[in-house]
């Protein structure tokens, strides 16, 4: 029975690519394409007593899930809990992975260095700030730490430079990125303008501290940038080594030069999205979601409420979009399958094929869709070989079939192809992350982590039968 169906599917594909299908057969294929969910196996990981607030990838075989004060290290090849890291007394605000070691900061005013292999805390520095919010690598063995103060620390947690108060003690940093070897930019929850933080200290030509200067504490200078948004900043993302992006609550996006810290492009609020978001004909603000750089460093994707839009960072032009990608606002996004598939999380999890956008194609015919998907899912089994999960813990999730409305107007941009929809968490998803080339993970308020495995990489010919087999179960 399986062989007969498989032969039928391959004949169906050959006839389709030669445009020999009638209307009913083309409609059937469209439904098959939209229902194709390559990530059809899931492990439900339970190790937290609090909501799973964010995720980090340690390496291709381990991920980290972060609760309120505890962190869990999971093996992705076996879906087993390896270690539980505990020690913070208040909420963990950020975790940074560095050379397979972990650094965590917390509202308890401490920063900790962890060995995830042994599950031990190697070092703790306390009382370095009342509000520690975000950590970002600077260069070499140094990183920025921001909150109510700004610090530069070494990997050994030695303080290299310090600014005791942000904005004279009036602000606490919400997010921060490093734009050069000595400068970071950041914003607080009420800012319409970015602030730059520049460290003055001689690190020498090779990036190390100059001899005889190890005990001298460097100075960090704060400066408010002149250009700014008309509404409060809500997003800050590094797109590549040359540019970064900010987004405001009015939906506007600025593209900045990392070198000059000046705005290069301004992407204004879109009334087209507003009219899709609201029944009112007057433009109204929509929530700006995550901003994510694509594997082509000239492109980035933005969640605007329920919608997805892909921009070219060189000129700010739209190169791809999906209206009403979800029924609710998108909370988080991640790239999987080596950047070829976009995962978006809102009321459910949806998967989007990016090949047409990455290749710059504006032809959204079904022929291109099926070719894109088959080409994207086809992979060498030797590259992504994954150890077998324990079958008694594996759940097969039948993807829901849903139809995206086709707009009649001529397309000048690529439309992302939806490959499937999956839903398992009982409550809202707070974060998602790649967990290796062929996996991704989601963390939820329901205190669980779901680890999704791509079951569709055995061979190219098997891809067409997977979702149909699941639907028959």
Residue 471 has what pLDDT?
Answer: 30
Note whether 366 and 25 are within 8 A (CB).
no
Residue 5 has what pLDDT?
Answer: 36
Residue 423 has what pLDDT?
Answer: 80
Provide the residue-wise pLDDT of the chain in tens; the chain has 473 residues.
333 333 344 444 444 434 454 566 555 554 554 445 556 677 889 999 999 999 999 988 899 999 999 999 999 888 889 999 999 999 999 999 988 899 999 999 999 999 999 999 999 998 876 688 999 998 888 999 999 999 999 988 999 999 999 988 888 999 999 999 899 999 998 899 999 999 986 554 434 444 334 456 789 999 999 999 999 999 999 999 999 999 998 888 999 999 999 999 998 755 455 544 444 433 455 778 999 999 878 999 999 999 999 999 998 889 888 888 998 999 999 998 778 889 999 988 988 888 778 776 554 454 455 455 545 554 433 344 444 444 444 444 444 333 333 333 445 566 677 777 788 888 999 999 998 777 899 999 999 999 888 654 333 323 322 332 223 22
The CA distance from 172 to 169, in Å, is: 8
Note whether 328 and 316 are within 8 A (CB).
no
- pLDDT tens-digit profile of 86-139? 999 999 999 999 888 999 999 999 999 999 999 999 999 988 766 889 999 988
Residue 411 has what pLDDT?
Answer: 52
Give me the residues paired with residue 330 across strands: none
Backbone angles phi, psi at 307, to 5 degrees: -100, 160
Give pTM, 2 decimals.
Answer: 0.78
Q: Tokens at residue 464, please?
A: 């067409």
The CA distance from 369 to 30, in Å, is: 9
- Tokens 């139809």 appear where? 403
Instruction: Please report which helix (H) or strand (E) contains residue 38, including its range.
Output: none
Residue 237 has what pLDDT?
Answer: 96
Note whether 16 and 370 are within 8 A (CB).
yes
The CA distance from 394 to 435, in Å, is: 17
> 200 exposed, middle or buried (CB, 10 Å; 0-12, 13-18, 19+)?
exposed
Residue 262 has what pLDDT?
Answer: 95
The CA distance from 233 to 241, in Å, is: 21
Give me the residues paired with residue 224 across strands: 195
Q: List, in sequence order, every beta strand (DSSP E) within 397-457.
A: 417-422, 429-434, 439-444, 448-453
């Amino acid at each position: 029975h399986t062989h007969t169906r498989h032969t039928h599917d391959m004949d169906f594909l050959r006839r389709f690519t030669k445009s020999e299908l009638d209307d009913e057969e083309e409609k059937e294929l469209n439904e098959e394409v939209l229902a194709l969910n390559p990530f059809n196996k899931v492990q439900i990981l339970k190790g937290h007593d609090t909501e799973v607030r964010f995720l980090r990838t340690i390496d291709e075989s381990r991920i980290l899930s972060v609760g309120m004060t505890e962190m869990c290290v999971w093996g992705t090849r076996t879906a087993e809990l390896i270690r539980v890291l505990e020690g913070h007394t208040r909420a963990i605000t950020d975790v940074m992975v560095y050379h397979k070691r972990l650094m965590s900061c917390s509202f308890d005013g401490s920063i900790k260095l962890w060995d995830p292999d042994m599950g031990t805390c190697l070092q703790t520095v306390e009382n370095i700030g009342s509000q520690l919010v975000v950590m970002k690598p600077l260069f070499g063995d140094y990183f920025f730490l921001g909150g109510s103060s700004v610090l530069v620390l070494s990997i050994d947690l030695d303080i290299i430079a310090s600014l005791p108060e942000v904005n004279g003690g009036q602000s606490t940093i919400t997010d921060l990125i490093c734009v050069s070897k000595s400068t970071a930019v950041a914003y607080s929850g009420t800012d319409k303008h970015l602030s730059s933080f520049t460290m003055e200290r001689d690190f020498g030509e090779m990036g190390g501290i100059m001899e005889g200067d190890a005990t001298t504490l460097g100075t960090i200078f704060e400066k408010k940038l002149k250009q700014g948004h008309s509404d409060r900043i809500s997003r800050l993302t590094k797109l590549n080594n040359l540019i970064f992006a900010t987004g405001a609550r009015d939906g506007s996006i600025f593209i900045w030069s990392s070198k000059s810290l000046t705005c290069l492009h301004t992407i204004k609020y879109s009334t087209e999205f507003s009219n899709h978001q609201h029944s009112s004909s007057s433009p109204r603000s929509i929530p700006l979601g995550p901003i994510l750089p694509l594997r082509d460093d000239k492109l980035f994707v933005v969640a605007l409420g329920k919608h997805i839009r892909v921009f070219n960072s060189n000129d700010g032009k739209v190169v791809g979009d999906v209206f009403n990608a979800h029924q609710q606002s998108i909370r988080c996004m991640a790239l999987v399958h080596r950047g070829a598939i976009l995962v978006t999380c809102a009321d459910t999890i949806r998967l989007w094929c990016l090949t047409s956008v990455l290749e710059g194609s504006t032809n959204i015919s079904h022929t291109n869709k099926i070719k894109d998907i088959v080409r994207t899912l086809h992979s060498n089994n030797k590259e992504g070989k994954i150890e077998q999960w324990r079958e008694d813990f594996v759940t097969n999730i039948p993807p829901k079939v849903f139809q995206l409305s086709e707009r009649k107007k001529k397309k000048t941009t690529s439309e992302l192809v939806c490959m499937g929809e999956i839903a398992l968490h009982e409550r809202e998803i707070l974060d998602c992350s790649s967990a290796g080339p062929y996996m991704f993970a989601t963390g939820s308020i329901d205190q669980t982590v779901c680890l999704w495995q791509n079951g569709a990489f055995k061979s190219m010919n098997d891809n067409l039968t997977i979702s149909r087999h699941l639907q028959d179960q």
